[in-house]
Amino acid sequence: MVKLKETVDFDSYVDNFLPQPDSVDGCEGGADKKRRRLTQKNLFQLWGLENPNLDLRPSTATSLASRKNQQRLCPFYKRIAGTPFTVDAFCYGSVKGCSAYFLSHFHADHYIGLTKGWSHGPIYCTNLTARLLRICLYVSPSFICPLELGTEYSLNGIKITMLDANHCPGAALIHFRLPNGQCYLHTGDFRASKLMQSYPVLASQRINILYLDTTYCNPKYRFPSKEDVLEFVVGVTRRYLNNHPKTIVVVGAYSIGKEHVYSAISKALGVKIYANASRRRILRSFGWVGISENLSTNGKDTPLHILPISSLRFEILQRYLASQDGQYTSMLSFRPTGDSYMLLIACDPSLLVDFVPYFMQKFLTSYHYIYKGWTYSETIGENLNLIKPTSKGNITIYGVPYSEHSNFIELQEFVQFLRPEKIIPTVNVGNAVNRGKMQSYFQQWLKA
Task: Quickly list DSSP for 275-338.
Answer: --HHHHHHHHHHT-TTTGGGEES-GGG-SEEEEEGGG-SHHHHHHHHHTTTTS-SEEEEEEE-G
The domain containing residue 369 runs over which residues? 10-52+222-400
User: 179 with 253, same domain?
Assistant: no
Q: Is 2 among the domain residues?
A: no
Residues 164-181 have a mean pLDDT of 98
Better pLDDT: 18 or 100: 100
User: 120 with 179, same domain?
Assistant: yes
Q: Is 408 helix (H, G, I), strand (E, B) or coil?
A: helix
Q: Name the average pLDDT for the chain.
A: 81
- Report pLDDT for 227: 94
Of the residues 382, 400, 418, the one at which a domain ends:
400
Q: Is 187 among the domain residues?
A: yes
pLDDT > 60? residue 2: no
Q: Is 1 among the domain residues?
A: no
- Taking only the tens place, the pLDDT of each residue in 37-90 is 434 545 555 555 543 333 333 444 555 555 554 568 999 999 999 999 999 999
- Taking only the tens place, the pLDDT of each residue in 223-244 is 999 999 999 999 999 999 999 9
Q: Is 4 among the domain residues?
A: no
Q: Is 5 among the domain residues?
A: no
Least confident of 53-62, 151-160, 262-271, 395-404: 53-62
Better pLDDT: 133 or 352: 133
Q: How far is CA 357 from CA 52, 215, 256, 348, 441, in A?
A: 10, 22, 30, 16, 28
Among 132, 203, 114, residue whose Cα is nearest residue 170: 132
Express as a percent the part of the chain with pLDDT over 90.
70
The letter for the amino acid at 210 is L
Find the length of the chain. 448
- Taking only the tens place, the pLDDT of each residue in 205-228 is 999 999 999 999 999 998 999 999
User: 107 with 201, same domain?
Assistant: yes
User: 345 with 442, same domain?
Assistant: no
Indicate the pLDDT class of residue 298, thresholds 50, 70 and 90.
very high
Express as a percent the part of the chain with pLDDT over 70.
74
Better pLDDT: 48 or 432: 432
Better pLDDT: 21 or 385: 385
User: 126 with 35, same domain?
Assistant: no
Q: Is 442 among the domain residues?
A: yes
User: 391 with 421, same domain?
Assistant: no
- Taking only the tens place, the pLDDT of each residue in 11-25 is 444 444 433 333 222
Contacts of 258 (CB under 8 A, 6+ apart): 251, 252, 309, 336, 402, 404
- Taking only the tens place, the pLDDT of each residue in 324-340 is 999 999 999 999 976 43
Residues 342-371 have a mean pLDDT of 31
- Report pLDDT for 358: 30
Q: How many domains does the chain fold into?
A: 2
Q: What is the CATH number of the domain that holds 118?
A: 3.60.15.10
Q: What is the CATH number of the domain that holds 366?
A: 3.40.50.12650
Between CA 276 and CA 6 the distance in angstroms is: 17
User: 255 with 378, same domain?
Assistant: yes
Least confident of 54-68, 89-103, 186-200, 270-284: 54-68
How large is the C-alpha radius of gyration of the chain? 22
User: 307 with 270, same domain?
Assistant: yes
Backbone angles phi, psi at 133, to 5 degrees: -60, -40
Better pLDDT: 401 or 366: 401
Least confident of 33-47, 94-108, 177-191: 33-47
Q: Is 3 among the domain residues?
A: no
- Report pLDDT for 180: 97
pLDDT > 60? residue 255: yes
Q: Is 326 among the domain residues?
A: yes
User: 92 with 204, same domain?
Assistant: yes
- Taking only the tens place, the pLDDT of each residue in 400-429 is 999 999 999 999 999 999 999 999 999 999
User: 247 with 395, same domain?
Assistant: yes
- Report pLDDT for 275: 97
User: 43 with 177, same domain?
Assistant: no
- Report pLDDT for 247: 98
Say which DSSP state 372 is in: S
User: 276 with 421, same domain?
Assistant: no
- Report pLDDT for 418: 98
